[in-house]
Amino acid sequence: MAYQESQMTRQETQTRVSSTNKVLRNTYGLLAMTLLFSAVTAGAAMAMGVERMNIFVFFIGAYGLMFLVHKTAHSAMGLLTTFAFTGFMGFTLGPILNAYLALPNGAALVMNALAMTGLTFIGLSAVALVTKKDFSFLGNFMMAGAIVLVLAMLAGLIFQIPALMLMVSAGFVLFSSAAILYQTSEIVHRAGETNYILATITLYVSIYNLFISLLSLLGIMSND
């Protein structure tokens, strides 16, 4: 009897590990493709000289497409809406990159931000995957942090206070880092997200915000 229970436990563990590895493979595979697609749309926007999008139009487009992703995540349409969302985000990134590249040291700023983003993502993902520590406790912190950051961002847009904008960028770096740890941990522990499309979107948005925030911080520190 004890042997049968041990066998069942072992099979359940193997099934769980196999399922987790499948979600991880699908998530990172789709994430790589969406990042590449975003790079293509960003390059297209840069080549066309597209002007920076109105902030309200950006929010409507970004949150509208994200809503569609969540609505279709459990169907074949989920992949289409995922690429629509990430393509849109990449396209809006093009004018921002053009603005930074126009600066005397703009190319260095962009490359440094890109390198720091990549290293941060790889490092944090490795921490969650190797240590297998449960970072679900970050959920409450992220919820509170999101509210504070949105309010601070709106205040920064209205009052144009440089110090506040600096704090918002630093806050988004911390928030995005926490989101990467949290989402990866949720996949590993099967406590939360098991849909690789939704997991991909969470990681993509975290990487996007991390890159933009680091680019902003580097620009501020170099007086640009």
Q: What is the pLDDT of residues 188-200, one digit of tens each?
A: 776 445 688 998 9
Half-sphere exposure of 12 (CA within 13 A, CB side): 7
According to the model, what pLDDT value does residue 224 have? 55
Q: What's the confidence (pLDDT) of residue 145?
A: 79
Res 190: pLDDT: 60
Per-residue pLDDT, 11: 56
**pLDDT at 4 (0 to 100):** 47
For the chain, give the longest Cα–Cα distance: 74
Residue 103 has phi, psi (to 5 degrees) of -75, 155
Q: Note the pLDDT tens digit of each residue in 119-160.
A: 999 999 998 888 888 887 887 788 887 888 878 777 777 777
Which residues in the chain come in under a pLDDT of 50? 2-5, 8, 191-192
